[in-house]
Structure 1
Amino acid sequence: MSVRPVERSSLVEQTAAELDRIVRSGEWDVGDRLPGEVELGRLLGVGRSTVREALRSLISSGQLEARQGAGTFVASPTAVPGWERHLRRAAIADVYEVRIALELEAARLAAARRTPADLVALDAAMAARGRAEGPAAFVDADLAVHRAVIAAAHNPVLTDVFASFTTALREALLDLVRDEDLRTADDHDEATRAHHDLVTAIRAGDAAAAVLATRHNVEDTLAQLHAAQRSS
């Protein structure tokens, strides 16, 4: 029998394990920006190169996401399965086409299953969307509305699958709202009306109207994403 000696874990592995623990604990929420490498090294008592390698490990697992020029952000509280990481690398329009199918069903289910608490959450999310200033805040608020609709469907599988899409979508949607040639003020107003129509339909328990409002919103956005791909 061949037996190999047990090796002590490296500083990189220990650092990655501690970062993993912090992320899993929820001390850093999904979307939060991590401190810089120097600050993390000071907090963890290790060198910058060790921090960098540990961060790369968690980025590879899908827990963290590096954004060019912005820093490193929490993408998932736990390691992301390989198929979800594939989604994050897939063409954004392809992912969005699948998202449409999910959101149409979520809208139908939400109209049938919404609770008073769900309606309160939807109203709060819409209000936050209306107050949001700047592209990043607006995209995050917009996605929060969609998460509230998904939650109102009360289907945990839909919730998990939608969550796997949001990281893939966020950066593309940011580019979209920043590009005035692709996303005009009229487009923004039309999308806002579609969101209000969706919430109204869910409140009324009108599944057909909820599906129609969702289709109007997400298919318009898909068309804009295709336009963005053609212009890139």
Structure 2
Amino acid sequence: MKTRASFKLISRLMTDAWIYSPEGLRDAAGIYARILEKLRPNMILAVVDTRANDPDDFALEVISRYKVPTTMSAMRHLQVSQTLSEFPDQQHLRRIMIPAYLNAIENRRPLADRISARVLNMVTLYNRLILPQRNRAGRSEWCLVLIDVKFLLPTAPTTPLADVDLGILQMLAEGATIKEIAEASHRSERTIHHRVERLKARFGARNLAHLVGLAVSEGVADDPS
């Protein structure tokens, strides 16, 4: 049975391997080979070839893909080996990805951060580790990128909601039942039920869990202010 490891442990193992890797190592596999079987299904591992002068021509090679079951087809499009000019979400690429790669390869130092962003039709939170090729002779020629996806949620409507609906979403996110919401808001269960059904239709939610996920993706249920 494969032994899965935490992002923190895998990051440490990869960073240790990077520290002891030879200058100008041509193949990043020497750093990631031993951790492949430790990756969790929510992790993505990729190598970015950064030899081109134009970042649009950097080549992304996906080594290990996100394997958590999901109906969001966008995840497949984001995990295709391609040049960055072909990446399907150019806004995310230029705001989040390219600046980090350039920082890492120019400074030739590891970069670790946590990203919260919209990507295509999803809202995501992920941890990221970037390890550039150790190369004292010049700019690093590749980056090894490890991503630990904490959650993926579909995007939802962003138009303002009535105060009562914000309250309903907040309590649903806290696990309250329709009866408990009705008692707290001094409304009938029938009224709350109807409002929940209208919210489901507005958000395109299939059920209550889906509604809460969509609301959280817009920062509605977790921050009603």
Higher helix share: 1
Computing the radius of gyration from Cα coordinates, the structure with the larger value is 2
Query: How high is the TM-score relative to the length of structure 1?
Result: 0.28
Query: How high is the TM-score relative to the length of structure 2?
Result: 0.29
Higher strand share: 2
